[in-house]
Structure 1
Amino acid sequence: MVKSCHFHFAQNIWKKIKKYGLTKLILNNDNARRQVVNMMALPLLPPNEVNEAFSNIIESFSELRDKCIKLTDYVLKTYIEEPRYPIDFWSHFDLIRIRPRTNNHVEGYHGQLNSINDSFTFIFQSNTKLTPVAWIRYIQESEESTMSRYEQEQAQQRTTRPRKRRTVNNDLRLTEAKKNDFNGRLDLEDYQATLRSLSYRYMVVLDNDSNSKDDDEYEPKIS
C-alpha cells in the first residue's frame, strides 16, 4: 500500500500554521506547542486511538480556541472526519520499524534521475553523433537495481539503505513504545509523550527551513 510521508504530514500542518499567522503564538505558548506536536504525531498512533487523541487536542486548545479554530478544522476535515486523506493512507503505526516514515529516499532517487537526465541532454546537444541508447541503458540498469533491493527488503522486512545511528535509535524508541502501548503498559497520554520528541524535532526543522527534506540532521528537543 502507498503511504504518505510522515514528515510531509507534519509539514502540511506547519504550512497552515504559517498561513493562519499562528507561528509566534505556537512557539511562545507551551500548551499550544505541545498540542501541535501531538497533531504531528497522529500518524504514529494506533488508528483506533486517533479520534480520541484529536478530541483531546481540541479540548486542550480551548484557551486558544478562537485563534486556532482554523487549524483544528483543517486537520479535522483533511485527516479525521470524512477526510480528504483516509487514515489508512497516512497512518504509519503498523509500519514502525518495518518501512521508512518519510519518502526522502524516493525524492533522492528522482533527483538523481533528473540530474543525470540533464547531463545526458547536454551531451546529446553537444555531440549529435550520440544516441539516447546510453540513457535507456542507464534507466534499465537503475530499475533492475531498485527492484532487486526492493525484493531483498520485502524478504528481510527491513530497509537495506544505510541509516544514521540517530534514526535507528529513534526507531528503537518508537518500537519499544509501540510494544508497551500494545501490551497496555502505556496509556494514550504516556505514549504521546514518547512520540513528542520526534515531532518537536520536526517543528525545529520546519521553523528553520520550510524547504528541508531531511530531518535526520536535527537533535530531538524533549519537552
Structure 2
Amino acid sequence: GLPLILRQTDRGENFVLYEDNSTVTFTCDRNLSVLNQCEHWFMDGIFSICPKSYYQLFTVHGMYSLQIVPLVYDLLIGKDTNDYDIFFQQLLLKYDYEPESILVDFESATLKLTKSYFPDAIQIGCLFHFGQCLWREVPSLGLKNKYTDDGNFRMNVKKLMALAFVPVADVIKAYSFLISDFDNEDNPLFNYFERVWVGQKKGRGSRRSKPKFSLQLWNIYKRVIHDLPRSNNAVEGWHHAFNNFVSIKHPSITKLAKCILREQSRFEVDIERLRAGEPPKKKKKIYANLDARLKRIALT
C-alpha cells in the first residue's frame, strides 16, 4: 500500500477517499467542497501514465471562478459501468452535488453513469471528440483521397461538424440543406452521420429515428452564447502537462501519487488566490478573439 506521506496533502488532510482492488480515488474534503460549489464539471481519462495494473486515470475538474481546476483523480482498472459505479458512489457520499452541466467524451459508460447519478445536469459531449469521430469516419469509409483532393467535399465535411454551433431546433433543417450539396457517392458518410448523430429518416415525412447520441448532447450553441467551454481542451491541456511531468509511461503507483500530490499543492495555491478575489488567469488573446467571433456568428 501507499505510505502515509502519500496519503495526505501538504495541509495534513486525508487524500485517499477510497481504495479497493479495482480503484483508488485521490481527493480531499477541501477539493470536494470546491467541487460542490462548481456549476460546471469536466471529466476525462488519461491512459499512458497509469500503473500497469490500471486502465486509466479518470479526472474530474470543476470551473471555479472561471478557472478549470482538477479536483478528483481516480485510478480505474477498466472503463465499463461497474468500474465507474464504485467511483461515483464514493464521490456522492460527501455532498448532494448539483452540477448544472457535465462535459464528457462520447464514452457510453461515462454518459450512462453521469446521467444516472446527476439526472438534472446537462450532459455535453466534447466538441473536439465530436470532430475526431467525424474525421475518423472519412478514411474508414474510403473517402480519404476525396477529402484531400476535393475542396468542396472537404468544406462540406467541415460544415457537418459546424452543425454543433446551430441552435438545436434548426439542426435538422440545416442538415437537410447541407446534404443537397454532396454527391451521391458520399452516401456512406450520411448513413453514418444519420445513424449516430441526427437520426435516420422514417418514411416520407420529417420524422427521424433516435440517433446513437442525441442532438442535445453534441450541440454547443448554448455553451457558445453563455461563454462556456466548448470542449475538454483545458482538461486535455492539463493532461498533456501532467504527462510531461510524470515523464515515464506506466509509473509505479508511488511515483504517480507523488505527482498527483504535487498537482494538488499547485492548485491549492490557485484556489486560495481565486478565493481571495484575484482574477483568473487570462486566456491567450488569440483564443479570446476566437470565442468572441464564434459568439458573434452564433448570435446572428
What is the TM-score when the length of structure 2 is the normalising length?
A: 0.46
Aligned-partner SS, 2:296: helix
Question: Corresponding residue for 2:190?
Answer: 72
Note the C-alpha offset of 1:169.
1.9
> Of 218, 228, 231, which aligns to 1:102?
231
Question: Corresponding residue for 1:169?
Answer: 289
> Of 12, 26, 33, which aligns to 2:147?
26
Note the C-alpha offset of 1:147.
6.3
Query: In structure 1, how many angstroms separate the alpha carbons of the residues matched to 2:259 and 2:287?
Result: 35
Residues 45-96 of structure 1 show CA distances to partners (whole Å, capped at 9, x for unaligned) of 11111001111122221xx21x211111111111111121112221110011
Note the C-alpha offset of 1:7.
2.4
1:83 is the counterpart of 2:211: yes
Q: Which runs of 5+ in 2 are unaligned?
A: 1-100, 104-123, 200-209
Paired positions, count = 163
Q: Which runs of 5+ in 1 are unaligned?
A: 126-131, 181-223
Query: In structure 1, how many angstroms separate the alpha carbons of the residues matched to 2:270 and 2:172?
Result: 38
5 Å-filtered alignment, 1:1-223, equals 1=101, 2=103, 3-61=124-182, 64-65=183-184, 67-81=185-199, 82-96=210-224, 98-117=227-246, 134-135=258-259, 137-142=261-266, 144=268, 160-180=280-300
More helix by share: 1
Q: Give, as a single letter, the amino acid of the residue that structure 2 aligns with 1:106.
A: V
Note the C-alpha offset of 1:142.
5.0
More strand by share: 2
Q: Give, as a single letter, the amino acid of the residue that structure 1 aligns with 2:265.
A: E
Note the C-alpha offset of 1:10.
1.8
Q: Between the two proteins, what is the percent identity of the paired residues?
A: 26
Q: Give, as a single letter, the amino acid of the residue that structure 1 aligns with 2:235.
A: V
Query: In structure 2, how many angstroms separate the alpha carbons of the residues matched to 1:85 and 1:145?
Result: 39
Q: CA RMSD in A?
A: 3.3
